[in-house]
Amino acid sequence: MWISRPLYELIPYLYMLLGLVLLGAAWVITVETLPGVLLLLGSLSLLAGIVLWLRRKDYRTTQAEYSSKSLDD
């Protein structure tokens, strides 16, 4: 499956935004079990967005180092 580059670059931020919205909703909603579910989903979504962003950042840094080393040779 191919995703356009602008959408691909936006995905980690969308996950993090969704996580923050769900965490905020868990804070506001007063139904019995729903805040717990929203808290779990929000935390997982926020964590997934951060992990995805960090992995992409690390990959790009590593690729830049490899390409600069190959140019130096």
* pLDDT given at position 31: 85
Average pLDDT over residues 13-36: 93
Closest CA to 54 of 28, 6, 21, 15: 15
Tokens of 33: 């079990």
* Average pLDDT over every residue of 44-71: 89
Which SS3 state, helix, strand or coil, does residue 1 take? coil
Res 19: pLDDT: 97
Gap between the Cα atoms of 64 and 41, Å rounded = 34
Nearest to 24 by CA among 45, 37, 42: 42
Whether residue 28 has pLDDT greater than 80? yes
Give tens-digit pLDDT for 8-18: 999 999 999 99
Q: How confident is the model at residue 1 (pLDDT cuts 50, 70, 90)?
A: confident
- Is residue 55 a contact partner of residue 21, using CB atoms and an 8 Å limit? no
**H or E element at residue 10:** helix 5-28
pLDDT at residue 43 in the model: 97
